[in-house]
Structure 1
Amino acid sequence: MKDKMRIALAQTPCKLGDKAENIARMRKMMERKEADLYVFPELYLTGYMVRDDIFRLAEGLDGDSVQAIMDLSEEHNAHVLFGMAAWDDELPGVLRNSAVMVSPDARVQRYDKINLASFGPFEEGFYFGAGNSGTLMDIDDHRIGVVVCYDLFFPELVRSYALSGAEAIVCISASPVTSRDFFEKLIPARAVENTAYIIYVNQVGTQLNQVFFGGSEAAGPRGDRIAKNRYFERDMNIIETSLSDLQAARRNRPTVRDTVSR
């Protein structure tokens, strides 16, 4: 197994309702630096604040947009994780707030957001059905757990991934500036609790009446910040996860071991 994995925190504004333009912006970010995995924010494909237009813009996983991103994945020999509004595969007419990962070998993996934000300015419950289970995704020989934004507030979901063998937890997000303080406290806490890498990639820019702060970041398995993207601007950092560093952290602070042994 390869010890290290390079992950790109690809923070770029999306154009509201314009999927073709957003895929073009993906391409530009992927051309900047090489990585094994490029991560884009929650509902990046359409933008977050499209409201009722989400039903017109949503696609299945066999749609044109996923195919276009699959072509990018093959071209760059890299995995691409991004947020989209995806129709449920088995329940006609049910929409999910999904994290989708495409791979160079044409595999498509998906996680449907379990904890929908339906309070304050958030209206996800009007549009989406909640997912019912986590999804452990494979990247070559590595495993990552994926959560979407508000999911990060629920430690049992993140812990379930760590107990299933995840080396990293990736959170794709559409968090406005009013939520910044919460996420910047949660990210190192989840890393320390689970001795796992936590990668957080947020929307950036203004959409209707919401200002998304960017500020994507990553924490190592001891809770130390290892990358921080700029606030309110397009930015991309590459982090390198290390399986040997993860194993050392878990020997020194054995939260995963001690949970399993109960």
Structure 2
Amino acid sequence: MKIAMLQMNVVAGDIAGNKDKGLTLISQAAVNADVIVLPEIWTIGYALKNVAQAAETIDGPFICRLTAIARNSGVNIVAGSIPLRINDHIYNSALVIDRQGTIVASYEKVHLFSMYGEERFFAPGAKLGSFSLDGVNAGISICYDLRFPELFRSLALNGAQIVFVPAEWPAARGGHWRTLVQARAIENHMYICAVNCVGEHRGSPFYGHSLLVGPEGEILAEGGDQEGIIFGKINLEKVTESRLAMPTFTDRRPDIYVR
């Protein structure tokens, strides 16, 4: 499976510009990829005051355009995350679209970043993001979720062999980014595809360095600090080999863990 990570320069508040750029990068990547992955809230950036006006609906024109691109290009799209209106709430939602243009998963961000007051703009999700893509058991989380190993272990116990992580991660905590992505991969013997953005918000730069990490923590592909498309490949046999070599799943003691 060949993965294209779209490391966008997301401009806060430039909804039209961000959408145009994202769609252009998708078209460029579709020629050489099985799965295309975008970053977190890439349509609006961190201009959260605009969330209510910018929120999409699942059957709205923009989501329909994404599904049409997936179908016409024959490519899977992990559409990063976007503000999504569901009933009377707005969620930070990550949509996954298969090659047929079918939405196979919608994950609403569970852990809202209270340091930046995300709970003032988004409702929290209440379910895991587990799904199948091209026959591969997969999962999805969003940015701050990386700091919660319980979520990734739950996805792994649900069968995930790869977890996608769209993010808007700041350079100020760039060291945490690499460490957490590798840790989540190593402790669950699975691939982590973490796609970050570049650019800045209010003078604070984003880190970039989108990562594809293997089940032993090996970095298979990494972006720098500039916008671009980063390609990488995964071999699912490595997941099986890693889990057989280090049987941490069977050695678990859930009977004594704090709940």
TM-score if structure 2 supplies the norm length? 0.91
Structure 1 Cα separation of the partners of residues 221 and 84 of structure 2: 30
Structure 2 partner of 1:116:
112
Task: Report the equivalent of 1:235.
Answer: 228
Q: 1:249 corresponds to which residue?
A: 242
SS in 2 for 1:44: coil
1:17–1:57 Cα contact (<8 Å) kept: no
Q: 1:255 to 1:223 in 2, by over 3 A?
A: same
For residue 167 of structure 2, what is the aligned residue in structure 1?
173
What is the DSSP-based 3-state SS (H/G/I as helix, E as strand, rest coil) of the residue aligned with 2:81? Answer: strand
- Name the count of aligned residue pairs: 251
Tell me how far 1:145 sits from its aligned partner.
0.9
Q: 1:17 to 1:136 in 2, by over 3 A?
A: same
Paired with 1:236 and 1:255, the residues of 2 have a C-alpha distance of: 34
Q: Percent identity?
A: 27
> Counterpart of 1:62?
59
The verdict on how the C-alpha distance between 1:172 and 1:241 changes in structure 2, with shifts beyond 3 A counting, is same
Residues in 2 aligned to 1:104 and 1:128: alpha-carbon distance in whole angstroms:
29
Unaligned ranges ≥5, structure 2: none
Which residues of structure 1 form unaligned runs of 5+?
none
1:18 Cα offset (Å): 3.9
One-letter amino acid of the counterpart of residue 25, structure 2: M
SS class of match (1:16): coil
- Relative to structure 1, the CA distance from residue 23 to residue 260 in structure 2 (aligned partners, 3 Å threshold; closer, same or farther) is farther
Partner of 1:216: 210
Aligned-CA RMSD value? 1.7
Contact 1:195–1:255 at 8 Å: present in 2 too? no
1:40-70 alpha-carbon deviations (Å, 9 max, x no partner): 00101222x2122110000111111111111
- Displacement of 1:115 in angstroms is 0.5
Shift of the alpha carbon at 1:260? Answer: 8.5
State the secondary structure of the residue aligned to 2:234: strand
> Which residue of structure 1 lines up, in the alignment, with residue 73 of structure 2?
76
Q: Which amino acid aligns with 1:228?
A: E
2:101 pairs with 1:106: yes
Alpha-carbon distance between aligned partners in 2 of 1:38 and 1:161, rounded to the nearest angstrom: 20
CA-CA distance at 1:104 after TM superposition: 2.8
1:88-237 map, 5 Å: 88=86, 91-92=87-88, 94-108=89-103, 109-119=105-115, 122-231=116-225, 233-237=226-230
